[in-house]
Structure formats: structure tokens, C-alpha cells
Structure 1
């Protein structure tokens, strides 16, 4: 397949670079440092295993799950009509 001036594998190199940039950006947004010993929402103790597994953790499992569910709730169009999907 003719690719013009691009060398062999240039497209894959560009894809790899884009993925690497996205991974770097995502890692830079991760919290760092010691996590909290108690949840900042409900003040429940956060287990040591969770604090070790998730650096910078601020919420207990229940509060984190509730936050994730509320964030994901706005991502879906539940009305299902074509008109609402086109807007």
C-alpha cells in the first residue's frame, strides 16, 4: 500500500505515541501521597489494604462507588428516541 512520504510503520508509530501521551496524562492526574485514614464523606475508616492499593485515596469503597455511579448516570441517553439522540 502506498503511503506517500511516510515510512513503513509510521501510522502505527503515531498511534503508539498518541496512546503513550494519553497514558502519561492519565497517570499525571492520579492522586499521589498518603491516603486518608477516614473517608472525607462519611468519616468511616478506610482499610489499610485500600490505602496501600489506591495511593491518595480519599473515599471509602461505598462512597467511591456512589460517586462513580452518579458520574456515570449522566453519560447515557435513557429516553431512546431518535430525536433525543440527534440533539
Structure 2
């Protein structure tokens, strides 16, 4: 049982660190110039409209819908 709990705690810690790093990024309002998932250029209009964006529109939609 300890092994399962250890793995769950490790996964939770990784999730928390990722969430905190994204939160800090969005607070600084820095947008990526290229999508973190596909590498395509994020249009300037999107970067200005959505402060702190890190994905293009298509990849953001996939992320929000939980698609791979």
C-alpha cells in the first residue's frame, strides 16, 4: 500500500509544481511566441488578447477538451 501512496504523492507534487509554474508565468503576462505543444507561431493578436498564453488556438482547444 505504501508504494501506491508514494506514487500518488509524487504525481501530486509534479502536478502542483507544473500548476505553480504556469500560474507564475500567467501572472507575469508573458506570452510565448511559439506554441509549447506544436511549435507553431502564435499570432500576435492572440498574444495581445490572451496575456500569458502558451498555446496556439488549436492546441488550447485540445487541452481544454482533454484530447491527446
TM-score (norm 2): 0.56
Higher helix proportion, which one? 2
1:55 is aligned, of 51, 55, 58, to 51
Unaligned runs of 5+ in 1: 1-27, 72-87
What is the count of residue pairs matched by the alignment? 44
Offset at residue 34 of structure 1 (A): 1.7
Unaligned runs of 5+ in 2: 1-22
Of structures 1 and 2, the larger Rg is shown by 1
Partner of 1:31: 26
| RMSD, aligned α-carbons | 2.3
SS across alignment from 1:40: coil
